[in-house]
Structure 1
Amino acid sequence: MRRACYFLLLLMVSCQYFETEKVDADTLFEQEMATINWDEVDQYPLFPNCDETQDKATQLRCFHRELSGSISEVLHDSVPGMVQSLRDTVWMDMRIDTSGVFSIKNVKMDSITEVQLPRLESWLKSALVNMQPVSPATKKGVPVATEYTLPLVLATN
């Protein structure tokens, strides 16, 4: 009988080791959100001819190559041949929304460039409007908006 009492006492004391701790859904959500690095995406925006199975660095290079190629083509066709010799870096702040649509937030250029190429910002907007569609960047499989600052080196002779 004593053994049975000790066994029951031991069983009652050790039951606390079998209990599972209940985790609140909000707490779990907050912990998961704290672990996410919001400054990086899992996949960069991709043009149709960029391979999504490649590593992130290759995807980013492909994105930059396609974007700069499209902008260079539009500028080459738009800039009049009578522009004086010019060498400047124009900084374009752009956004790609969750649908893969481009937009310009800001264009920073030297005052001389602005005088020589007063329609530069409209040409850049035109380049982005006519851009082939992209798949937006993703984070945890969800499309996210991204913002980039793109340096454009202008050089004319």
Structure 2
Amino acid sequence: MMILRVFFSLLIVLTLVSCDFSAKRIGFSFMKTEIDTLINYTKVDELPVFPECKNLIDTDKKNRCFINHLYNHFADSLLKHTFGVSGYVDETVIVRIKIDARGNASLDGIQSSDLIKRDIPKLDSIINESIATLPIFFPAIKTAIPVSTVFELPIVVKLK
């Protein structure tokens, strides 16, 4: 009886060792692997890109190019107009711009103070016209798929 116990114990040990040996030899592992399936829906892998910025390789340069072109577009558009105000205006207007998965830009909303709404009532229509004249973008990318994004663009309005 004792011999059978020793024999089966030795057989079990050899079986476990031989499985471990063959796994190491073939490069096979029984270790648990984890796959990252969590997706952060609040961030994109790549921001939308103006056609002029598409060939930049560095992501930071590409993003700065996008932001600079966007600000320059709005500055050029707003500087074409003259605004008559009753006093000094130093306010920030938040413009929400949606860029869809096809690269088309549209106005998603404007957040401005009562002073801006009262003294510069046509500002909303000027901003809307400016967005309508934006070129078609290369859309934002999330896990290799074009996606819609919304940007908040602060515009500082200083008038005397």
TM-score range, shorter chain: 0.7 to 0.9
Preserved CA contact (<8 Å) 2:83 2:120: no
**Alignment gaps of 5+ in structure 1:** 1-5, 22-27
Pick one of 81, 94, 119 that aligns with 2:122.
119
TM-score for the superposition, normalised by structure 2? 0.73
Residue 74 in 1 paired to residue 77 in 2?
yes
Residue type at the aligned position of 1:99: R
Structure 2 distance, partners of 1:105, 1:117, is 19
Structure 2 distance, partners of 1:98, 1:90, is 26
Residue type at the aligned position of 1:83: V
Q: CA deviation at 1:113?
A: 1.1
**Alignment gaps of 5+ in structure 2:** 1-7, 24-28
Q: CA deviation at 1:120?
A: 0.9
Residue type at the aligned position of 1:62: C
TM-score for the superposition, normalised by structure 1? 0.74
Q: CA deviation at 1:149?
A: 1.1
Runs of 4+ in 1 over 3 A off after TM superposition: 81-85
Question: How many percent of aligned residue pairs carry the same amino acid?
Answer: 25
Q: CA deviation at 1:62?
A: 0.9
Cα-Cα RMSD:
3.0
Structure 2 distance, partners of 1:110, 1:83, is 14
Structure 2 distance, partners of 1:48, 1:143, is 15
1:50-88 superposed Cα distances (whole Å, 9 cap, x missing partner):
1444333222211110111111111111x3253344221
Pick one of 150, 156, 159 that aligns with 1:156.
159
Structure 1 distance, partners of 2:141, 2:55, is 11
Structure 2 partner of 1:143: 146
Residue 131 in 1 paired to residue 148 in 2?
no
1:90-142 superposed Cα distances (whole Å, 9 cap, x missing partner):
01122111011111222111111111111111111110110112100001211
Q: CA deviation at 1:32?
A: 4.6
Structure 2 distance, partners of 1:121, 1:33, is 42
